[in-house]
Amino acid sequence: MRIAAPTDRKTEPGVVGSVLVEPDEARVLGSLADQLQTLLGDALSAGDVRDTALKRLLPDAYRNDPELADEWRRLSRGGLVDRKIGFARTLSVALQPIAASGQAATISLTFDAALDWVRGIGDVRLVIADRMGITVDGDEGAFSEPGVRDVYELLAWMQDALVQLLDEAQPPGATTDGSLP
Closest by CA position to 91, among listed 111, 69, 109: 109
| Residue 73 within binding range of other proteins, rule CB under 8 A | no
Q: Give the ranges where the chain is alpha helix by DSSP (H).
A: 23-46, 52-57, 66-101, 111-132, 148-169
d(CA 89, CA 94): 8
Let me know if 160 is exposed, middle or buried by CB neighbors in 10 A (0-12, 13-18, 19+). exposed
| Residue 61 within binding range of other proteins, rule CB under 8 A | yes
* Interface positions, 133-162, toward other proteins (CB under 8 A): 134-139, 156, 159-160
Backbone phi and psi for residue 110, each to the nearest 5 degrees, phi listed first? -80, 175
Comparing CB distances to other proteins, the nearer of 59 and 66 is 59
* Interface positions, 76-135, toward other proteins (CB under 8 A): 76, 80, 83-84, 118-119, 122-123, 125-126, 129, 134-135
- Name the minimum Å distance from CB 80 to other proteins: 6
Which of 60, 108, 144, 148: binder of other proteins (CB under 8 A)? 60
Cβ count within 10 A of residue 140: 9
Comparing CB distances to other proteins, the nearer of 24 and 56 is 56
Applying CB under 8 A, the residues found at the interface with other proteins are 56-64, 68, 72, 76, 80, 83-84, 118-119, 122-123, 125-126, 129, 134-139, 156, 159-160, 163-164, 166-167, 172-173, 176-177, 179-181
